[in-house]
Amino acid sequence: MDDGKKISRRSFLKGAMFLAAGAAIPLAAFSRNALAAGKVSKAAMHYQDKPNGSAHCSNCIQFIPGSGGMGTCKVVAGSISPNGWCLAYAPK
């Protein structure tokens, strides 16, 4: 009788572990897909076309210089000014 309770508890714990593992896999896939799918909007990151003091896109690690004076960003969607700034700013 006592062994039956132990097996039940063990089975329950195994089931709980499977559920937890099953829930973690789709979440991990979603996060990976979200990162691969795109970038954050300018509005969400409070992007502005002017610097924030000495902090600006051209000295941010996320900035990718482009032709014609503008560039792109690894984080924020759209055309990015080298003189812009946003909340994701990270100095080089």
Q: Which stretch, 8-16, 21-29, 30-38, 84-92, contacts ligand SF4 (CB under 6 A)?
A: 84-92
Question: CA angle, corner 81, sides to 39 and 70, nearest 5?
Answer: 95
Q: How far apart are CA 51 and CA 4, in angstroms?
A: 68
Phi, psi of 80 (to 5 degrees): -120, 130
43 binds ligand SF4 (CB under 6 A): no
Identified binder of ligand SF4 from the candidate list 3, 38, 84, 92, rule CB under 6 A: 84
Q: How far is the CB of 90 from ligand SF4 (least distance, A)?
A: 6
Instruction: Name residue, tokens 């896109």.
Output: 57
70 binds ligand SF4 (CB under 6 A): no
